[in-house]
Amino acid sequence: MNEDNSKTHFGFAEIPLREKAQRVADVFYSVASKYDVMNDLMSFGLHRMWKRFTLLESGVRPEHHVLDIAGGTGDLAREFAKKIGKKGFVVLADINEKMLQHGREKLIDQGIVGNVGYVQADAECLPFPDNHFDCITIAFGLRNVTDKMAALRSMYRVLKPGGKLLILEFSKPVLPLLSSLYDIYSFKVIPKLGKWVCHDAASYQYLVESIRMHPNQETLKNMLQECEFEDVEFFNLTGGVVALHKGFKY
């Protein structure tokens, strides 16, 4: 029997392809309960501004159907639910059961019920019909996907003609000084924050490394175009520390 010896990256390490999904799952199982706190600490609260910009670019309207992939603790899903009204519907999807449960409990506690559903799903093979969603978002999740091209094709399939995909992700700073400072902060400070808040420096070391291994702005734009998305563009936020990519299905 042939054994698949394909390799992929887990942060800077090279590991068997078949192991990555479980390793990523272990990271998020470990940090789920402190995920929101760490986001605020690591980004100095800027993640809220980046998500607000994503919401503005989404252009969602009442009655729209929205899919938030790797939706984690539900920040975007909550705001989409407010925008689409009772006749619209948001699906908060995450591959990690613990993150999904945390997000569901958080939204219910905030009174967000009735127009939000929760689905444990792998971005590479989304369990939804073709041409189903008006808008798809994935925020800080694509870099953790093993086969990014498969995930992008899966998103294209379930997006309606005329629909929009938005990818919010850490990217490559465009200013040399900012890039140097960002490297120091990422590798010297963030793992220590992870150890202090979550008692888990290793998971945040992986998250920092995964950012460096993620495709840069132009490469991700080309990947979207290869998957047949059109009018693809990106916006650098905070000097390119984060980028929002946008593409349409026609």
Model pLDDT for residues 36-74, shown as the tens digit of each residue: 787 888 888 999 999 999 999 999 999 999 999 999 889
The pTM score is 0.89
* Domain-embedded: residue 184: no
Question: Nearest-CA neighbor of 237 among 42, 10, 46, 40?
Answer: 46
* Domain-embedded: residue 130: yes
* Domain-embedded: residue 101: yes
Q: Total domain count for the chain?
A: 1
- At 217 the pLDDT is 98
pLDDT in tens, 177-230: 899 998 998 989 988 988 888 888 888 898 899 999 999 999 999 999 999 999
Q: Provide the domain limits for residue 49.
A: 32-169+217-248
* Domain-embedded: residue 105: yes
* Domain-embedded: residue 13: no
CATH value at residue 125? 3.40.50.150
* Domain-embedded: residue 159: yes
